[in-house]
Every structure is written in C-alpha cells, then in structure tokens.
Amino acid sequence: MQSNIFSNGDLEPCPLCNSTERIVDNQRAEISCALCGLVLDESLVDNGPEWRAFDHEQRDKRTRVGAPLTYTISDKGLTTTIDWKNKDSNGRMISERNRAQMYRLRKWNKRLRVSRAGERNLAHALSEIDRVSSKLDLPRSPVREDASVIYRQATKKQLIRGRSIESMVAASIYTACRRCDIPRTLEEISEMSQVPKKQIGKNYRFLARELNIKLKPTSPVDYIPRFATRLGLSNKVQIKAIDIINISMKNGFNSGKGPTGVAAAALYIASMLLGERKSQKVVAGVAGVTEVTIRNRYKELSELDLGTSL
C-alpha cells in the first residue's frame, strides 16, 4: 500500500473533525483525512512524467515537450519499396551477382518497415492508455503500469490484429482496474475512450481468456468510497454501507447481481439510517443504475436483514 501522511497549515480543516492531517492513497487516487478517514479528494493528479528514462536516447524519444511526435502521419509516400522483379530501372535484367544483394536488401527493407510500424503503434497505444486513465483519475501505480503490461503482452501474442488500438487500450485499462481492485465501470471507460461499451466488454473477455488472467468478480465494496464521496456522504455512512454489504454477502445474497446496483442500494440504506438521506434518483445517477434497481436491491436487502441489527 502506497500511502503517506502529510500535514499543511494551508489545508482546509476536515469538515468532520477539523484535522489538517491528510493521508494520500496513491492506489485509489484519494486523499483522505488522517484522523477520521473521510475522503476529501478523489481526483489526484499526477504531474510527473509517466515514463522513466534510463539513458539519453530514451529520454529524447519519450519527452513530449516541443513539437509532438505525430503518430497520425503514415509513412505513405516516404517508404522505399523494392520491386520483386529482377530488373533495373531501365528494364534490363540484373546480373546474377547483384540478384542476391537485391534479395537481402528487400528482406531488410521489409523488416525495418514492419518493426517501425510496430513501434509506432505501441507508442500510440501507450500514450492512449495514459490519456484515458488520466481522464479517469487512475493512479499511475499500479493501474496504468498494469494496463501497459497487459497491452504489451497482447501485442506479443498478436492479439491486437484485426482489432482497433483504441478498443484494446480500453479493454486493457478495464482489465487492469479489475485486477487492482480499483474498479471503474464499463460506462466510465467507454465515455472517456469513445469506444462502445459492448466492444470493450468483448475485448476484455478476449484478453482475459487469451492471457489467462483470472479475475474475481468485483465486490460492491470497492465502489463505496467513490460513490459516497461523490454524494457528499460522511465516512460513517460508508462504513455502514460496507457493513450492510458484508452481512448480505455472508447470506449468499450478491451472486449474480450487478455490483454497482448493490453498492448503490447499500449506500441508500446507510444514508437513511444515519439521517443523511439522499433520494433514490441522486444515488442512482452517481452509481450509473436506475431507481428501480435500487428499489429492488433495497427490498431484497431489507427482507434479508430482518434478524440482524444494523
């Protein structure tokens, strides 16, 4: 767990306990109060470069200050193609001695072109990973790094062929989020990457299968801090909501239900119990589900929790 505590007189005191001490949790991209744990800021922006350079050449390659390296200009018109016919520019046959040379030239020309194209695509993909995860407030470590690793593996196994770079980038990010227990919904990723939800899901399953990535289903608990903070709910409500989810999971409740719906319902109940009531509509909006789903989960949960004191 990468987290550190800092304190600063300029900081707004925590609304709950007035403390000016903060915990920075780089994994979840959250800043919370060191005393009471209230999440105060969930959009940590990392201003440093996302790359590491080990020598000058890499630094030159990776620095993106100055004229941008453009990935959009294809090498059309700039490449040299070597005809397969063994004739020179005047149409005369090339001598036996030069023919072997031509063969080697052709081979190398082809190789260089392919490797350059591959590098360019990878660079494009990695910068895309960075752009999208930045929009999603995802921490560099471990999520973006994990997404890059996944994408590289996919490249190595030739899984990108026939699929768009953008959609595979989105799928890599989604997979990395799941693996790091920092879930983002398909909707959120779809919105930021401009790739349809359906396609991300499809590619994600494809990636998981081909790369043998085993993933446990996301727990509703993982969504609680983010939703609660967006709703302006206190830390107490979060804890209560997590309690509710844990109790219901013990009773074998959540299987097959969408985790965001369960998280939303738990938050809704917790907010009512602690007198910080939010309307179903608002909670539904934040969680990306409808009021009806919240109602259904709410009903099921209240039937379930009869014996337990909440």
Partner DNA sequence: AAGACGAAAGTGGTTGA
Partner DNA sequence: TCAACAACTTTCGTCTT
Which spans of this chain sit near DNA (rule: CB under 7 A)? Answer: 197-198, 201, 205, 256-258, 261, 277, 279-281, 288-293, 295-299
Q: Closest separation between CB of residue 38 and DNA, Å?
A: 23
Q: Tell me the sheet residues that pair with 23.
A: 5, 32
Burial profile 101-138: b = 16 or more Cβ within 10 angstroms, e = fewer: ebeeeeeeeeeeeeeeeeebebebbbbbbbebbeebbb
User: Is the Cβ of residue 106 or residue 163 nearer to DNA in the bound state?
Assistant: 163
Q: Closest separation between CB of residue 76 and DNA, Å?
A: 36
> Do 33 and 9 contact (CB within 8 A), yes or no?
no
CA distance 223 to 229: 10
User: Is the Cβ of residue 145 or residue 222 nearer to DNA in the bound state?
Assistant: 222
Burial profile 161-176: b = 16 or more Cβ within 10 angstroms, e = fewer: eebebbbbbbbbbbbb
Q: Closest separation between CB of residue 179 and DNA, Å?
A: 18
User: Is the Cβ of residue 173 or residue 289 nearer to DNA in the bound state?
Assistant: 289
User: Is the Cβ of residue 28 or residue 184 nearer to DNA in the bound state?
Assistant: 184
User: Is the Cβ of residue 21 or residue 300 nearer to DNA in the bound state?
Assistant: 300
User: Is the Cβ of residue 151 or residue 298 nearer to DNA in the bound state?
Assistant: 298
Q: Closest separation between CB of residue 154 and DNA, Å?
A: 19
Q: Closest separation between CB of residue 149 and DNA, Å?
A: 24
Q: Closest separation between CB of residue 298 and DNA, Å?
A: 6
User: Is the Cβ of residue 110 or residue 277 nearer to DNA in the bound state?
Assistant: 277
Q: Closest separation between CB of residue 296 and DNA, Å?
A: 6
